[in-house]
Amino acid sequence: MRGSLTDHAGDWYEINEARVVPGCVQQPRLPLAAGAGGPRALRLAATYGEGWITYGDTAHQHVSAAGTAAVVRRQMARLDEHLAAFGRDPSTVDRIYLIGNTEARPLQSVEAFVDFAERYREIGFTDLVYNHPRADDPVWNEPQAIVEEITARML
């Protein structure tokens, strides 16, 4: 919310002149990034978000590298359609990929991460987020040192 008062009339409740006090104390306020994969959520992300977050196929049916890339391309195209419909410039919305809903193992090595990051940059993502690996995690169990190696290489 950007103002001090807001109204809302929805299916479940109605709000008239609700106050948000003190409001966001950080100026400029923190950007809002909305996680969205399905049609309704993508519309909401296009309406309110300064950023969009996805992890690919929300139905978990297309988890191969090619399948995931195809899904996120379709999601991004739909997001861009909604942004255009709202008169918003798509280049002003950050695109954040949350790594994890794919068979790809980008934390396997620095080279794997660089390759993964480049492929997702080419798709149009501005940021990547991943879970920090730990030995007891069934999915993210690469050696923790890979994070420092990736950071040193990428920065």
Structural domains counted in the chain? 1
Distance separating alpha carbons of residues 29 and 126, to the nearest angstrom? 20
Q: Which residues share a beta bridge with 95?
A: 52
Q: What is the CATH number of the domain that holds 115?
A: 3.20.20.30
Quick one: DSSP state of residue 92?
G
Q: Is 89 within a domain? A: yes
- On whether residue 12 sits in a domain, the answer given is no
Confirm whether 16 is domain-assigned: no
Q: For residue 23, is it within any domain?
A: no
Task: Please list the ranges in the chain whose pLDDT falls under 50.
Answer: none
Give the model's pLDDT for residue 3: 59
Tens of pLDDT, residue by residue over 54-73, are 999 888 888 899 999 999 99
Cα distance between residue 5 and residue 70, in whole Å: 41
- Domain-located, residue 10: no
What's this model's pTM, rounded to 2 decimal places? 0.80
Residue 2 is assigned to a structural domain of this protein: no
Question: Cα 79 vs. chain centroid, distance in angstroms?
Answer: 12
Residue 8 lies in a domain: no
The answer to the question of residue 121 being in a domain is yes
Predicted local distance difference test score (pLDDT) of residue 126:
96
**Segment holding 73, helix H or strand E:** helix 65-85
State the Cα–Cα distance between residues 97 and 37, nearest whole angstrom.
Answer: 11
What's residue 28's pLDDT? 79
Strands 5-9 vs 14-19: parallel, antiparallel or unpaired: antiparallel
pLDDT for residue 36: 94
As beta bridge partners, residue 7 has none
Q: What are 149's two structure tokens?
A: 């190696």
Query: What is the separation, in whole angstroms, between the first and last Cα of the chain?
Result: 34
Cα angle 53, 72, 90 (rounded to 5 degrees) comes to 65
Tell me the residue range of the domain where 44 lies. 31-154
